[in-house]
Amino acid sequence: MERKAIWLVGVLTLVLVLAGLGTSLAVVDQTGSVPASATLGASTSLTVQAKRISDNGAVASIDYGSLPGGTGNKLAPQYVEVQVASNYAPWELEVYTSNFAAAPSTTTWGYQYGGMVDTGADGGHRVAMVWQAYRSTTTVSDPPAGLTGWTYLKDKRDLNIPGTPADESWATAHTDGYTNIAYGGPDYMNVVEPGTTGVPDTDKKLMVYLGGIFGSAPVDTYSTTFRIDLYHE
């Protein structure tokens, strides 16, 4: 009787196992297929607007006005509001000046050209500029003597300075991302805030504050065009 019970249990177990395998043992008789494809076009946008720090009112330019002799590092009274969107992956947003149509004389200008230059760009006089980027408006002070937290504004004609350990050329700065204020993809964006390699942003908007290094500049009138490129590799 005991053996019969064991035999029945074994048969029942086998039946249950086979029942469980019923679907997995199904044999595919035919397969149909339909290909699917799509081509997605590019969608990019970039809007820049200079605004007063004092009241966030829109203005036409960055204007330091007339400064007294002896001015050192000075925060511009305006900032630049940037709105950006791109469905490239990845995209990058960089800032720079382009003060010379052709390579200038290193005898007159040296090797670095970023910032504001004397009107006419013929005297070799320059006010270097620095920048900070933030996800929203914030309180910013004049750049400190050591420029901690600030990044030099590069020029597209910048050359490597002979005898220095770092390569200060435009090509290296661009390749290394030194010129980037933000980067992202179709569904994300990071703003390069001071001391970071990028902080997530959700509204696709950022603010760029500018400082001028006036201490070593001689008496003159200076100007430039602050440029922002949205690009992808």
Query: pTM of the full predicted structure?
Result: 0.87
**What number is the average pLDDT over the span 153-175?**
97
Domain segments of the chain as ranges: 44-231
Q: What's the token pair of residue 19? A: 């029942």
Residue 24 pLDDT grade (very low, low, confident, very high; cuts 50, 70, 90): low
Mean per-residue pLDDT, 144-172: 97
Instruction: Summarize pLDDT for 76-126 with one digit per residue, the tens.
Output: 999 999 999 999 999 999 999 999 999 999 999 999 999 999 998 899 999
